[in-house]
């Protein structure tokens, strides 16, 4: 038979880019991320008007650099209405294996 490759977990920046995209498009509320995002990151999500209501944005790229043990600086590029948008975010694993979003910046 055909040999199956083990399923690899998605990198944390990919998973978080999808979560943030869902919150920014209104498919998920920022409150759904309670416990997974810190106050600063949640504040940015709750105060930002969902900028992608006219077209379904597409996640184009994600990148991350490990800047310390359990700390990633990440970015994502989204495309909507023929324009590209950027999200920058910091992810931290506080030693429990759960990646939390601790900072978020949205570019127009």
| Domains, the chain, with CATH or none | 12-106 (3.10.450.50)
All residues at 6 or more sequence positions from 24 whose CB lies less than 8 Å from its CB, including other chains: 45, 48, 50, 51, 52, 57, 106
Distances in Å between the Cα of 33 and the Cα atoms of 4, 22, 23 are 33, 11, 9
At 74 the pLDDT is: 98
pLDDT in tens, 37-96: 998 888 888 887 555 555 678 899 999 999 999 999 999 998 888 888 899 999 999 999
Instruction: With cut-offs at 50, 70 and 90, classify the pLDDT of residue 1.
Output: low
CB contact at 8 A, 54 and 80: yes
Task: Enter the pTM of the model.
Answer: 0.84
The phi-psi region of residue 49 (left if phi > 0; otherwise alpha if psi is between -120 and 50; otherwise beta) is beta
């Amino acid at each position: 038979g055909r040999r199956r490759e083990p399923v690899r977990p998605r990198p944390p920046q990919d998973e978080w880019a999808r979560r943030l995209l869902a919150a920014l498009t209104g498919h998920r509320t920022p409150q759904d991320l309670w416990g997974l995002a810190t106050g600063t990151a949640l504040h940015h999500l709750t105060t930002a008007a969902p900028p992608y209501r006219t077209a379904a944005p597409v996640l184009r790229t994600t990148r991350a650099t490990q800047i310390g043990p359990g700390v990633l600086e990440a970015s994502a590029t989204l495309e909507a209405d023929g324009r590209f948008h950027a999200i920058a975010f910091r992810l931290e694993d506080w030693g429990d294996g759960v990646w939390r979003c601790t900072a978020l910046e949205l570019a127009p």
